[in-house]
Amino acid sequence: MTRTISALLLSTALALPATAEEFTWAVTTDPQTMDPHAVNSAPVLGFLNNVYEGLVRRGKDMSVEPALATSWEPIGDGEGWRFALRQGVTFQDGAEFNADDVIFSYERASNEASDTRSWFAPVKEVVKVDDFTVDFLTNAPNPIFPGSIANWMIMDSGWAEANNAALPDKENGNFATLNANGTGAFRVTAREPGLRTVLQPHEGWWGEAEHNITKATLQPIQNPATALAALLSGDVDFINPVPIQDVARLQDNPDVKVIQGIEARVIMLGFPHEAEALKFSAETTDANPFADVRVRQAVAHAVNVPAILQTIMRGNAEEVSQLVSPAMNGYSASLAARPAHDPEKAKALLAEAGYADGFSFGLKCPNNRYLNDEAVCQAVTGMLAQVGITATLDAMPVQNYWPELRADNYDMYLLGWSPGTFDAEHPIRFLASTPNEEKKLGSWNFGGYSNARVDELLPMIQSEIDQGKRQSMIDEAHKILQDEMAYVPLYVQPLVWGARSNIDLTQRPDNFFILRWVTVN
Amino acid sequence: MALTSNVHDKGRWERFRDSDFFFAFKRSPVALVSFTIVCILVFSAVFAPWIAPTNPFNPASLNLMDGFTPPMEPNAFTGTRFLMGTDDQGRDVFSTILYGMRVSLFVGASAVLFAMVLGIVLGLVSGYFGGWTETIIMRIADVQLTFPSILVAMLIFGIAKGFTPVEYRDQMAIWVLILAIGLSDWVQFARVVRGTTLVEKKKDYVAAALLIGRRPWAIMIKHILPNALSPVLVIATISLALAIIAEATLSFLGVGAPPTQPSLGTLIRIGQGFLFSGEWWILFFPACTLLVLALSVNLLGDWLRDALNPRLR
């Protein structure tokens, strides 16, 4: 009898190290799709980085490191890049990874049906050299190309074709919207949109696991206060973001920890540059005041950014003057001054533009995408009203927000942009280039801002190898964008994560939560 | 003087003053206090634009730097003091409550009025005509009673919202809310009125009215309905408290009054986000107002029931 008990105890003791390390985390926005090429947005790409992999990936300090490619080198005199692929990699369904999957994923991700199309604007052609070598030929020398495709994820061609998902379907969805099959460290074992998504380690992963997770569950909790309560009670192990107003209180709680950093994301106001008339105005129905640069400058002078940072952001964010934050490569230090808060000047500019009596318009805003986004929009509405232009604020969940912007249903909108490449070229390509389907440019330039010189500068910036010359070109582009007030950059959003104190993790500045760096103690 | 006043015919007011009802009212501290509170709250809600120190919904009048000022303390940047503090946008909480109470009371009262009219009509019809009409109406009422009214209201609200174009949603929200709460609340009125109708329609005076050729509608409204008015009044008062709470619940859940026209429930929802961070007043004062308002209306309704229905005493 005693022997049985001791044997039982022994076996229990032996079984202990294998205890399931379950991990649950909460986010505000559920990734709207599992398809890595359907939606180019941080909640989707950030989550899928745990499931899918690209040829290269970013490390803890955002440096570019090998993933599905083991090495890469420029071809000739800047004609393109040659990638040597990793051998012996299997997808989560067991299929082998090779060059055909890379070609397939290129065609899929650069297709018109894909939201990631613009990543491949510099690419002329992709050539399979052999089963484990692929050449990317570029239109012009492109020194930053490998880093620019870190979020381009490789999908198995056989799996996609067998499941009728050879192309992404943004609108209606297809098999790849609900299922995933990557080469990453985790595979999706259950997906209930809006409720929970369960991940389990991919046993056949090529890499060395740093984590000790056996099961991870993503739970969208829209209300930040509810998410915080869930963290405090231990229902979830990690939340992103922590409501700014609760940071101070959380820091005093020994059960949880706050991980803070400066994010790469710049929050800005956008305008309908191309629209002929305002859509939501009570009286100005035949003109578009925002087409006038003086009106845009007036908006910039009317918004009191320091006040927003002081109250709504509680001193946890920094103001910014351009489309990238100071931490990014290519930031123009010479153009660091923001338009000062000056309501009188704003009124004068409006009067000069012929709107001395102001006008009314519609401001669109997400209410679950950026930190305190709706509160910031409310504050902006108040500040604009003080110089005589009255906005009707329409705040909505992000799922409805992007379609609304794509349908041009706004007179002004709030946008946050985080350059996936950590380089100033990225927002110029996405937000400031004249939208061009064919060249895959300006795909998030909702307002259709267009400047011939900026369009001319972009390919030069992309292909310039000399850092000094490149910086002066970026400076020139930033100067134009500032002078024309193409957007009104407001501030750099802070990164605030909260975790239970037994969780070890790494915060990457692009706000991507990488599960394979998590340890549950 | 006293003698003459005893001789001449009593006016309406005097008859009321001498009635048992008014006597009971004077003698009941609960009724006096709750009636006074309801009067004060209704008065301040109706006259909010003149009473409130600021108009919190005029964005031009807000100063963001006033944000998060604790009650009665000077703001760190602007030095301004606010009776109940300010919220994240620098809005005076006291003013938002006055304006919010307007929305709450308007929605509550309109919803009850709507439910009352609907319930009375359906109750009279089903009680008077009987047969299939009665069966159908009362079975619908039975089915609806098995669902919690907040659920019915959410369902109606969701459907109605689906049919409203996006750009009118905010303007329509209040009316949809009234419709949703009203539709979820008519059953009680219908049942009471039907019960009275069933009793009264067999009485001689109804037969007499029929004989002289009065139309059914005239009989229902002029002869039968007055008998049901006291219980209807009691139910209406208690329903008002419930309707105010239902509206607050819906708004708290984010499906009611929009932030551009916040009711007390919307204010509580907004304030809830700041509870952990210690800005208690943004939630506390609207919540207290809602509590006091609903409690006084409810106590008044209870007292009314006792006063108008001596059998219950």
Looking at the structure, tell me whether residues A326 and A460 fall in a common domain: yes
User: Given this model, what pLDDT does residue A3 score?
Assistant: 52
Rounded distance between C-alpha atoms, residue A148 and residue A66, angstroms: 13
Rounded distance between C-alpha atoms, residue B264 and residue B256, angstroms: 11
Nearest residue, CB atoms, B65 vs list A246, A307, A391:
A307
Looking at the structure, tell me whether residues A373 and A481 fall in a common domain: yes
Rounded to a whole number of angstroms, the distance from the CA of B78 to the nearest CA of chain A is 12
Joined together, the tokens standing for residue A120 give 């491949």
With a cut of 50, say whether residue B11 has pLDDT above it.
yes
Looking at the structure, tell me whether residues A432 and A337 fall in a common domain: yes
Q: B167 falls in which pLDDT band (50, 70, 90)?
A: low
Q: ipTM of this model?
A: 0.73
Chains A and B form CB pairs within 8 A to the count of 68
With a cut of 90, say whether residue B162 has pLDDT above it.
no
Would residue A511 count as lying in a domain? no
Rounded to a whole number of angstroms, the distance from the CA of B293 to the nearest CA of chain A is 27
Closest chain B residue to A391, measured at CA: B59
Q: Are A498 and A199 in contact (CB under 8 A)?
A: no
A302 and chain B: CB distance < 8 Å anywhere?
A: no
Instruction: Give the other-Cβ count within 10 Å of B12's Cβ.
Output: 7
Rounded to a whole number of angstroms, the distance from the CA of A129 to the nearest CA of chain B is 53
Q: Do B278 and A304 touch (CB under 8 A)?
A: no
Q: Do B60 and A390 touch (CB under 8 A)?
A: yes
User: Given this model, what pLDDT does residue A277 score?
Assistant: 92
Rounded distance between C-alpha atoms, residue B1 and residue A505, angstroms: 91
CA atoms within 13 A on the CB side of B266: 20
Would residue A114 count as lying in a domain? yes
Identify the domain boundary among A140, A158, A178: A178
For residue range B26-51, list pLDDT tens digits in order.
888 999 999 999 999 999 999 999 99
What pLDDT tens digit does each residue of chain A (521 aa) get?
455 555 544 444 444 444 678 999 999 889 989 999 998 888 999 999 999 999 999 998 888 999 999 999 999 888 999 999 999 999 999 999 999 999 999 999 999 889 888 889 889 999 999 999 999 999 888 888 998 899 999 999 999 999 999 999 888 889 999 999 999 999 999 999 989 999 999 999 999 989 999 999 999 998 888 899 999 999 999 999 898 888 888 888 999 999 988 778 999 999 999 999 999 888 878 899 999 999 999 999 999 999 999 889 888 888 999 999 988 889 999 999 999 999 999 999 999 999 999 999 999 999 888 988 989 999 999 999 999 999 988 888 887 899 899 999 999 999 999 988 889 999 999 999 999 888 888 989 999 999 999 999 999 998 888 889 999 999 999 999 999 999 999 999 988 999 999 999 999 888 899 999 999 98
- Quick one: B230 exposed, middle or buried, by C-beta within 10 A (0-12, 13-18, 19+)? middle
Q: Do B89 and A378 touch (CB under 8 A)?
A: yes
Identify the domain boundary among A178, A207, A223: A178
Instruction: Give the other-Cβ count within 10 Å of A369's Cβ.
Output: 22
C-alpha distance from residue A10 to each of A5, A13, A339 (Å): 8, 5, 70
pLDDT, average across residues B73-99: 88
B9 and chain A: CB distance < 8 Å anywhere?
A: no
User: Given this model, what pLDDT does residue A396 score?
Assistant: 84
Rounded to a whole number of angstroms, the distance from the CA of B63 to the nearest CA of chain A is 8
With a cut of 90, say whether residue B3 has pLDDT above it.
no
Question: In which residue are the tokens 């505000």 written?
Answer: A28
Joined together, the tokens standing for residue A58 give 């970013």
A246 and chain B: CB distance < 8 Å anywhere?
A: yes
Q: Are A261 and A507 in contact (CB under 8 A)?
A: yes
Residue B56 or A20, more confident: B56
Rounded distance between C-alpha atoms, residue A47 and residue A260, angstroms: 20
Rounded distance between C-alpha atoms, residue B85 and residue B5, angstroms: 54
Q: Do B67 and A280 touch (CB under 8 A)?
A: no
Looking at the structure, tell me whether residues A158 and A303 fall in a common domain: no
Nearest residue, CB atoms, A375 vs list B59, B89, B170:
B89
Q: Are A155 and A176 in contact (CB under 8 A)?
A: yes
Rounded to a whole number of angstroms, the distance from the CA of A168 to the nearest CA of chain B is 28
Q: Are strands A519-520 and A503-504 parallel, antiparallel or unpaired?
A: antiparallel
Rounded to a whole number of angstroms, the distance from the CA of A246 to the nearest CA of chain B is 5
Nearest residue, CB atoms, A381 vs list B59, B77, B273:
B59
Would residue A423 count as lying in a domain? yes
Q: How many residues does chain B have?
A: 313
Beta bridge partners of B266: none
- Backbone φ, ψ for residue B227 (5° rounding): -70, -25
Q: Do B58 and A395 touch (CB under 8 A)?
A: no
Considering only CB atoms, which chain B residues are within 8 Å of A308?
64
B65 and chain A: CB distance < 8 Å anywhere?
A: yes
Give how many domains chain A has, as a whole number.
Answer: 2
Q: Are strands A133-138 and A80-85 parallel, antiparallel or unpaired?
A: antiparallel
Q: Do A312 and B279 touch (CB under 8 A)?
A: no
Closest chain B residue to A251, measured at CA: B277
Would residue A258 count as lying in a domain? no
B208 and chain A: CB distance < 8 Å anywhere?
A: no
Would residue A275 count as lying in a domain? yes
Rounded to a whole number of angstroms, the distance from the CA of A125 to the nearest CA of chain B is 44
Would residue A51 count as lying in a domain? yes
Rounded distance between C-alpha atoms, residue A348 and residue A300, angstroms: 13
Question: In which residue are the tokens 């067998």 written?
Answer: A162
Looking at the structure, tell me whether residues A391 and A485 fall in a common domain: yes
Q: Are A300 and A485 in contact (CB under 8 A)?
A: yes
Would residue A438 count as lying in a domain? yes
Looking at the structure, tell me whether residues A174 and A280 fall in a common domain: no
Q: Do B59 and A390 touch (CB under 8 A)?
A: yes
User: Given this model, what pLDDT does residue A19 score?
Assistant: 60
Chain B contact probe: residue of A231, A233, A245, A360 with most B CBs at under 10 A: A245
With a cut of 90, say whether residue B161 has pLDDT above it.
no
Q: Are A415 and A401 in contact (CB under 8 A)?
A: no
With a cut of 70, say whether residue B66 has pLDDT above it.
yes
User: Given this model, what pLDDT does residue B274 score?
Assistant: 86
The residue range of the domain holding A384 is 263-494
User: Given this model, what pLDDT does residue A458 score?
Assistant: 93
Domain boundaries of chain B, sorted by first residue: 19-48+92-312
Q: What is the CATH number of the domain that holds A107?
A: 3.90.76.10
Indicate the pTM of the whole model: 0.79
Considering only CB atoms, which chain A residues are within 8 Å of B283?
none
CATH topology for the B19-48+92-312 domain: MetI-like fold (1.10.3720)
For residue range B168-216, list pLDDT tens digits in order.
777 788 888 898 899 888 999 999 999 999 999 899 999 999 999 899 8
Nearest Cα residue to A395 out of A379, A407, A418: A379
Would residue A130 count as lying in a domain? yes
Give one word for B238, left, alpha or beta, with left for phi > 0 and alpha for psi -120 to 50: alpha
Question: In which residue are the tokens 């004989």 written?
Answer: B211
Rounded distance between C-alpha atoms, residue B77 and residue A309, angstroms: 14
User: Given this model, what pLDDT does residue B193 score?
Assistant: 93
Interface of B with A in 113-172 (CB under 8 A): 166-167, 170
Looking at the structure, tell me whether residues A139 and A36 fall in a common domain: yes
Interface of B with A in 265-304 (CB under 8 A): 272-279
Looking at the structure, tell me whether residues A325 and A471 fall in a common domain: yes
Q: What is the CATH number of the domain that holds A343?
A: 3.10.105.10
Joined together, the tokens standing for residue A434 give 């004249």
Q: B160 falls in which pLDDT band (50, 70, 90)?
A: confident
On average, the pLDDT of chain B sits at: 87
Q: How many residues does chain A have?
A: 521
Nearest Cα residue to B96 out of B304, B282, B310: B282
The dihedral through the CA atoms of B235, B241, B247, B253 has a sign that is negative
Q: Do A280 and B167 touch (CB under 8 A)?
A: yes
Q: Are B206 and B196 in contact (CB under 8 A)?
A: no
The per-residue b/e assignment along B295-310, b for 16 or more CB within 10 angstroms, e otherwise, is ebbbbbbbbbbbbeee
Rounded to a whole number of angstroms, the distance from the CA of A312 to the nearest CA of chain B is 7
Q: Do B88 and A390 touch (CB under 8 A)?
A: no
Rounded distance between C-alpha atoms, residue A214 and residue A199, angstroms: 9
